[in-house]
Structure 1
Amino acid sequence: MKTKYPEILPILFAVFMASFNCVVAQEKTRSSESTTEDAQPFVQQFTDAEEVEYEFGIRIHCSGGYAQNTKVNAPIPILWPEQEVELYEETKSNNIKKISIKKLGKTASIMAFVVPRLNNGDYAEAIFRYRITRRSSILPNDTVQFEFPKRLTGKLKAYLKPSPYIDSRNKQIVAIGEKLFAENKDLPAWDQVEAVYSWVRENIKYKFDTQPHTCAETLAKGQGDCGELTALFIAICRSQGVPSREVWVPGHSYPEFYLADETGKGHWFPCQIAGQNHEFGEILEDRPIIQKGDRFKTPVSTKTKRYVEAGLSSSHSTGRLQAEHLMRKVGEK
């Protein structure tokens, strides 16, 4: 008599393997979920705080006639993770009734006021004095964890668009970006962005200039100041989908770039594009931050500007108005 067991063995084996594969798949899913849950968001580290007193304001003078209803604004510092601000004194001339503080989004603020009338020889002045506690960013211990963000909010997408003198859609800029990222595509995201930083520093010589230039002009000259090196780094990063922005401090500017950690949380990292030291993802900077970003509109101007500069406008004027923007340490002249 022949047994029928050999005929059912393949069926039993198939059932066993199906069950085994299901268990393995479940374990992999649990392991993946556990890894994601165990990942901790990156926490930016800073140096010890330093306190300094700064004054921000504007002084205007009228000559050769008069000016009516003159609107005036000037940038002031605001709170950032690396900066705390305390307004401890406010002074103004008698022809200014009230000074208001207006936010320009979440990355800059201005003082704003109106001078009803200025006659020949008159002046108006407003000054805010601040105690500013400033810290510098420290380089992360593990930079491999960072990656290009998978999703960008509308606010972050704004840091991919061109800005005044930051022409990220210029064909030459795009070509440079494509080449750099293609050459370094197998490297971590951090290293790919650092390749842009190194390229700008190696190919553009630092030279101070009183006039702003576009990125294309900077490339043609092969030289530029801190603002132009910053603009070029930002433009190349933006051309390849990496959010970047400018940071303005008194007498200087530098860029920040945006990457996400293992949990998907995004972070801004600074770099000192102009200077002798290689400071990428960290920066030793004690000057107060005036703005972050490079596209602003103020009440006295209809044009989009790269910097929140001091400005004024009058409803009617027969005289000449001169403005002096004040941005200095308390006690400096």
Structure 2
Amino acid sequence: MTKPTFTLAAFLAALLCLASAPRAKERASSPAKKSAAHDDSNAANAGDSSADEGKEVDDKPARPAKPGAIKPGVSPDPAVQLLEPRTYRLKIVAKVEAPEDAESRNVVVVAPVPMDWPEQRARLIGSPKVTPGAKYSETVKRGQCATMKFTVPLIPAGESAGVELLYEITRWRMEFASPTEDLTLPHGPPPEVRDQFVKNDAPGLEMKHPKIVGLTRELEKEHAGENAWERVKGFWQWTRDNVEFKNGDFRGALFAIEHHCGDCEEMSALFVSMCRLSGVVARSVWVEGHNYPEFYLLDSQGRGHWIPAQVVGPPWFGEMTEYRPIFQKGDRFYDPFQRQYVRYTPQTMKADGKVKPKFTVEHLILADSDINGPTYENSRE
């Protein structure tokens, strides 16, 4: 049986200690090993703020919220409480370097950027710093993700081009605070995310495999007669109790069942798969270095609520103490360069030329305290 290595009470106590401590010097925290913000490592990767010396930082006031945007600290869903906010800065640097002996032409870069969610405020500070001659734009897919597009017609041999963005991020702890006994299954997903729930499986969910279908039906029988909340909690508990945390490349929901191990991606994929097979709308939430699922249920008034769960680490169900920036929500995104659907919006680049240029995207979290939270590894008895 799994057992979290860090209790919620201990974590909240640590938060109180941090709140009362003097402000520390800003430090830069680079993302974990997976470039698309989905590694479970809890290392802060902190460095001295001098790493930013020599780079101009635009310190203009943050842009005001757009009309109709979420007010900081005010939940648009009265059933979800937003508590204990933390604010910090996130710097994103995308860079393309042409080979020493060849120019790069018609360069196009696409990458996810943070956007507003009920539990997150993302404000761009100043304007994007773009290489002269390049173009920059952003696209927002409501309820799913925001992406940046950076284009430059020519990068001479041995030179580079890029864009630098600086955001102010505010994240809130979430807690579902309404009665759960009357929650029911929705007739379908909200309109803004409907294209995430097509007949074809999302990559890695493997919902048609007999082993995943069989496990779901077995758990449905075990929780027959219980309300929707308890049914979903049964999927969550089985995943936590039967899948041991082991970090690695993404291998899918089926791998978690067959090998009884996986990291946050396998465990979230398994939970989401079982929920969807049982008629529960569910999706993955992708934050810097981690992901976790959330599910969607209706209350007695027919109002829908997105409710978070943590399948690895602290036993949070209906609550989430997570402060790292959210980059996207969902499990099925179209990659325009590969021309296929992928599990998350990738950081990707294409260019014309004899030799492919070097492409990097760096995330630097500038915070005066550790926003990574507790370890997300489970231990087994």
Fold shared, TM-score > 0.5 on shorter chain: yes
Match runs of 1:255-270 below 5 Å: 255-270=293-308
Residue aligning to 1:109? 146
Cα distance change on mapping 1:240 and 1:167 into 2, 3 Å = same
Query: 1:327 deviation in Å?
Result: 2.0
Unaligned runs of 5+ in 2: 1-76, 369-381
Give, as a single letter, the amino acid of the residue that structure 1 aligns with 2:221.
A
Q: Is the 8 A contact 1:160 1:238 kept in 2?
A: no
Corresponding residue of 2:106: 69
Q: Which amino acid aligns with 1:195?
A: G
- Cα separation, 2, equivalents of 1:139 and 1:43: 6
Structure 1 position 141, deviation (Å) = 4.6
SS in 1 for 2:266: helix
Can you list the C-alpha shifts for 1:150-194, whole angstroms capped at 9, x where unaligned? 455564474375211111222111111111011102112101100
1:206 partnered with 2:242: no
The whole-number CA distance in structure 1 between the counterparts of 2:189 and 2:145 is 21
Q: Does the 8 A contact of 1:73 with 1:300 survive in 2?
A: no
Any residues of structure 2 matched to 1:160-309 within 5 Å, and which?
Answer: 161=199, 162-209=201-248, 211-275=249-313, 277-309=314-346
- Please point out which of 91, 101, 124 is paired with 1:55: 91
- The answer to whether the 8 Å contact 2:203/2:342 transfers is yes
2:79 equivalent among 31, 43, 60: 43
Q: Which structure 1 segments of 5+ residues have no match? A: 1-40
Equivalent position amino acid for 1:142 in 2: P
1:124–1:157 Cα change, 3 Å: closer
CA distance in 2, matches of 1:140, 1:262: 14
Q: CA deviation at 1:61?
A: 1.5
Judged with a 3 Å threshold, the aligned counterparts in structure 2 of structure 1 residues 160 and 284 are, in CA distance, closer, same or farther, namely farther
- Are residues 1:138 and 2:150 paired? no
Counterpart-to-counterpart distance in 2, 1:79 and 1:67: 34
Deviations 1:94-132 (A, max 9, x none): 344321011235310111121111233221221211111
Letter in 2 for 1:130: Y
* Structure having the larger proportion of residues in helix: 1
The letter of the residue matching 2:125 is Y
Structure 1 contact 143–190 (Cα < 8 Å) conserved: yes
Distance, in Å, in 2 between the alignment partners of 1:91 and 1:305 is: 27
Q: d(CA) in 2 for partners of 1:321 and 1:285? A: 36
TM-score (norm. length: structure 1): 0.81
Counterpart of 2:70 in structure 1 is none
Check conservation: 1:72, 1:300, Cα contact below 8 A: no
Give 3-state SS (helix, strand or coil) of 2:102's partner: coil
- Matched to 2:220, the amino acid is F
Deviates most, 112-121 or 151-160: 151-160
Conserved in 2, the CA contact under 8 Å of 1:100 and 1:113?
yes
Q: Deviations over 1:45-90 (max 9, x none)?
A: 1112211111124112221422210111111111111111110034
Aligned to 2:197: 159
- RMSD between aligned residues: 2.1
TM-aligned CA distance change 1:58 to 1:253, over 3 Å: same
Q: In structure 2, how many angstroms separate the alpha carbons of the residues matched to 1:238 and 1:75?
A: 25
Query: Taking every aligned residue pair, what percent have the same amino acid on both sides?
Result: 30
Identify if the C-alpha distance between structure 1 residues 152 and 310 changes in structure 2 by more than 3 Å, giving closer, same or farther.
closer
Q: Tell me how far apart the structure 2 counterparts of residues 190 and 293 of structure 1 sit (CA, whole Å).
A: 21
Q: Number of aligned pairs? A: 289
Q: Secondary structure at the match of 2:207?
A: coil
